[in-house]
Amino acid sequence: DAGVTQSPTHLIKTRGQHVTLRCSPISGHKSVSWYQQVLGQGPQFIFQYYEKEERGRGNFPDRFSARQFPNYSSELNVNALLLGDSALYLCASSPDFGQFFGPGTRLTVL
Amino acid sequence: GNSVTQMEGPVTLSEEAFLTINCTYTATGYPSLFWYVQYPGEGLQLLLKATKADDKGSNKGFEATYRKETTSFHLEKGSVQVSDSAVYFCALSPHNAGNNRKLIWGLGTSLAVNP
């Protein structure tokens, strides 16, 4: 079975640009969560979606937005990129307890 | 609020040594508890979990027991290998109604195992 997939794997942007990251959950999983992991730290929760509705939001500015599609895949959008947005962005899907993570998208903002 | 505290790393051990990584938590109700592992250059992998008090999660020789009386979920392995070198994260999922399953994470503990 395919795990959680994310695209792209790596991305380089400049300050002020916007970025769209994509995630496909494990088949049958209806919940998708997004996390930001800065180098050397634990993941920080950004959003959770379940059945296309936002069910949780972390302490991130409005520059961060997300959505979930009818097939349960998801996009994370970040506008007006800052240097501090450089991080590994992780997507996780969930059937119930615990979450299964994708490999992440490494975003570098120059 | 909910929080997770892990012992600070890095932890350096010789192969076949005993490993303990301490994790304590603060939460209301009865959270679910997890250990995740992140190997160098890779994403997070669920290592083990426990969903109620006195449950023991185990996988790949690692174990952790959900201790409500001490609000702890310490990770242990009897004999570590070089291939266990990674960063280990303790996490909890709050006890909420509905489908809000966000995870709250510790800062991670880096383990290096030398041959």
Q: pLDDT per residue over B2-60, tens digit each?
A: 899 998 889 999 999 999 999 999 998 889 999 999 998 788 899 999 999 999 999 99
CA A29, B24, B77, B67 dihedral sign is negative
Measured between CA atoms, how close is B42 to chain A, in angstroms?
6
B95 at the A interface (CB within 8 A)?
no
Query: Does residue A20 surpass a pLDDT of 60?
Result: yes
Record: contact A98-B42, CB cut-off 8 A: no
Record: contact B46-A98, CB cut-off 8 A: yes
Record: contact A33-B102, CB cut-off 8 A: yes
Tokens read off for B108:
């991670």
Record: contact A98-B32, CB cut-off 8 A: yes
Q: pLDDT per residue over A50-109, tens digit each?
A: 888 998 898 999 999 999 999 999 999 999 999 999 999 999 998 766 688 999 999 999
Query: Does residue A5 surpass a pLDDT of 80?
Result: yes
A39 at the B interface (CB within 8 A)?
no
- DSSP calls for B17-33: --EEE-EEEE-SS--EE
Closest to B91 measured CA to CA, from A25, A24, A35: A35
